[in-house]
Every structure is written in C-alpha cells, then in structure tokens.
Amino acid sequence: MKNIPISAMIGLFFTGIYFLMAVFAPWIAPYGMAEVVGDVWEPSSSEFLLGTDSIGRDLLSRMIYGGQTTIFIATAATILSFTLGSVMGFFAAVSGGWVDQTLSRFVDLIMSIPSLIFALVVLSVMPTTVPILILLMGLLDSTRVFRLARAVAVDITVMDYVEAARLRGEKIGWIIFRETLPNALSPLVAEMGLRFIFAVLFVSTLSFLGLGVQPPQADWGGIVKENKEGINYGIQAALYPAYAIATLCISINLVADWILNRTTSLKGGRG
C-alpha cells in the first residue's frame, strides 16, 4: 500500500464512496425511494440537490437507492459467478479427460449464445425479480470465469507440488482447494473487478430495456430509462446515473489494473 499509484488511490476513493453510500443508503437519502416530493423535473435547488425526476421524486434519493440496488445485484452476481465458475474450472482442469472435455464443450455452447439475447429470452418468460436477476447474471458470467480458472489451473496442475499431492494420495477436493486455489487467487481477484464492471453494465442495460429492476424500485439503468425523454428538453436527470455508472466502472477498473500489475506471477505451492 505504500507504493500505491495515484490512479489506484483515486479508484479506491470513489469505489469506497459508492459502496459506503450503498450500505448506508436509508440513512443518507434525504427522501424515500418512491416518495413524490415535488413537481416534474424541477431544477437543482437547496431542497433537491439534483432536482426531481419525471414524476416528481427526489433524484438524489433515487440515485442513492439506485446505487444500492445496482451494486448489490452486481456484487451478488459476481460472487456467484466466481464461486461456480472457478470451482468448475478447477474441477475440469484437475480431472482432465472426458470430464474436462464435457464441461468445456458445454461452456462453449453457452458462450456461443450472446448473453444479452439469452437474458432477454429467459426474462421474457420468467418473473423479473432481484433473485432471478442475480441467478441469471451469475450463471451467464460463470462461463467466462470457468474459462479463466481452467486456463490458470491447467498450468498449475503440472507443477511438482501438485504431482506430489497426487502421489501422496490426496483427493481431488484437497488438490483443488489446498493446492490449486491458493496459487490461482491472484489472477482471479484481478478478474473479479472486471467481471463486476460487466455485471453493473449488464444489469443497467436490462433495466434500461425494461427487463431488469422493476419500478418503483430504483437502479441506475432504470433511472436513465425513466428520465430519457427529458434530454429532449435539456434536462439532465438521465445523465446523472450515466455519470455514476461510468465513474464506478472506471474506479473499479483502476483498482483491478493495480491488483493485476502486482500479481503477475504465480506463487509457490504448498507441496
């Protein structure tokens, strides 16, 4: 941390602010998430710092609650995707043979379908709830994590300490969690930041298309959709959530780049 670059410090600062606002949203927001408190698209004032939205709700409050929803869904989906994708990727690499080929070809099949089209088809026939969004996004993104985890694990499984563990008679669970995982954490942690960015963009896109977070619940993509007509009249209500999405993604990317630069080599194993 002593040699942290300025770019990473900026990324950590803004990332911390967004996550703190998400955690303490009910205590920070001046009004309720769906509370109508003024006229339509009122300008910024001392009462409404960012003005009001298309039906008179405080835009700052909607932004804070929207950030909470967006960050929660993206975080939960990222954790799910990395848990499932990394374990399956390690399992395929350690097992090898037909198990590896079967899992890899199945993942290739899922990845051949564009994620957005797949999500739109699924959400058109299923109830659009937060748990469904998290599950769908996590499963879709786990295919990308599987490819990374398998690629890293394939290089690790040929190391001497892994061979020694096999000769000792260690079971596959030991090899995955005690030999492979500790030496694959560095690239996976760096990749987690990038996958979180894609999760934020993905849930925002779904909400903008009307198949993501449903009103009156707020998220940044939905706020853009609700206020997009105001752009024709010079009203910037739809631009604030767009700025927030861009700022959060850039901040996370700066931190992920720093982590990746610090962890470019594999660590020694626990032979």
The DSSP secondary structure of 168-215, one letter per residue, reads TT--HHHIIIIIIHHHHHHHHHHHHHHHHHHHHHHHHHHHHTTSSSPT
User: What pLDDT digit, counting tens, does each position of 8-43 carry?
Assistant: 899 999 999 999 999 999 999 999 888 888 888 888
Neighbours of 251 (CB within 10 A): 23
How far apart, in whole angstroms, are the C-alpha atoms of residue 203 and residue 77? 10
Q: Which residues of the chain have pLDDT under 70?
A: 1-2, 263-271
Count CA within 13 A, CB hemisphere, residue 187: 20
Query: How far, rounded to the nearest angstrom, does the alpha carbon of residue 219 sit from its chain's CA centroid?
Result: 14
Residue 164: predicted pLDDT: 79
Identify which of 170, 76, 53 has the alpha carbon closest to the alpha carbon of residue 131: 76
Structure-token pair, residue 69: 């929803």
Evaluate whether 133 touches 73 at the Cβ level (below 8 Å): yes
User: What pLDDT digit, counting tens, does each position of 116-133 carry?
Assistant: 899 988 988 888 889 999
Residue 146: predicted pLDDT: 92
Which residue type does 258 have? W
Evaluate whether 226 touches 34 at the Cβ level (below 8 Å): no
Q: What domains does the chain contain, in order, with CATH numbers?
A: 6-262 (1.10.3720.10)
Place of tokens 């848990």: 83
Residue 38: predicted pLDDT: 84
Identify which of 147, 138, 139 has the alpha carbon closest to the alpha carbon of residue 108: 147
